[in-house]
Structure 1
Amino acid sequence: MSKTIMTIDDSPSVRQMMSMTLRGAGFAVLEAVDGEDALKKLATAKVDCVFTDQNMPVLDGLGFIKRFRATPNSVGVPVVFLSTESRDDLKSAARAAGATGWLTKPFDQAKLLEVVRKVVRA
């Protein structure tokens, strides 16, 4: 059974690149356009890992992580924070909110797969 990864990003091109890469490596993928959309989908779907962008309309990455971590569905689910920013204060805030790891954009496909395999032990 394949692992399911959720990608949350308001950029269609980023979601498409991530989905193609992950599906090509045998993962199932759920996509969300922002944190609010992700929370709605995660209310009825089980995932093995979440990748979330920071800067999104409606609900940003930090807001998503805080709200997701307050749900029983988040237990044991790694959340990797995606951002073009690499500020230490943002990294600290993401960790405090419950992020498992950090990936700076832009990233290459090999790095994405390396991170996914590490956090889902695939």
Structure 2
Amino acid sequence: MKTCLIVDDSRVVRKVASRIVRDLGFVVSEAAEGAEALQMCRQAMPDAVILDWNMPVMNGIDFVKALRREEGGKSPRVVFCSIENDAEHIQEALRSGADEFIMKPFDADILESKFAEVGLI
């Protein structure tokens, strides 16, 4: 079964995303910020990461850059999920190592279509 790590400092966003991703057949884990998520990836690399931009301790950009340097860190499909949705932010996310970008708020259809686009489903 595929795994997905949801990284967001909002508990509500994590819970909503978790429900959607579980319905898509993934085993889900959650982290409240990037440093915690990086430690979790070092323990078990997920197939997918849904990643917020603005978080305390380690933000999404720093996390994805660090993830891509880890052993096996190039394989997870990273989908940024942020309110930072101007073209400059989207390009920065993709340049930093993200595979896709969705804007908050999102719904099950949007998340499912992005997962399909990056080959997760």
The interval holding the TM-score normalised by the smaller chain is over 0.9
Unpaired runs of 5+ residues, structure 1, are none
For the 8 Å contact 2:48–2:120, the answer to whether it is kept is no
**2-structure distance, mates of 1:65, 1:10:** 16
Q: Which residue is equivalent to 1:21?
A: 20
- How many pairs are equivalent? 121
Equivalent positions of 1:1-122 (< 5 A) are 2-122=1-121
| Partner-residue secondary structure (3-state), 1:81 | strand
How far did residue 23 of structure 1 move? 1.1
The one-letter code of the counterpart of 1:18 is A
Unpaired runs of 5+ residues, structure 2, are none
The one-letter code of the counterpart of 1:51 is I
Percent of counterpart pairs with the same letter? 36
The one-letter code of the counterpart of 2:113 is E
How far did residue 75 of structure 1 move? 2.0
| Partner-residue secondary structure (3-state), 2:45 | coil
For the 8 Å contact 1:7–1:15, the answer to whether it is kept is yes
**2-structure distance, mates of 1:120, 1:28:** 17
| Partner-residue secondary structure (3-state), 1:82 | strand
4+ runs deviating over 4 angstroms = none
How far did residue 121 of structure 1 move? 3.4
Deviations 1:79-116 (A, max 9, x none): 11111121211112111111111000001111112212
How far did residue 39 of structure 1 move? 0.3
How far did residue 18 of structure 1 move? 0.7
The one-letter code of the counterpart of 2:92 is A
For the 8 Å contact 2:77–2:118, the answer to whether it is kept is yes
RCO (CA 8 Å, sep 6+): is it higher in 1 or 2? 1
How far did residue 68 of structure 1 move? 0.7
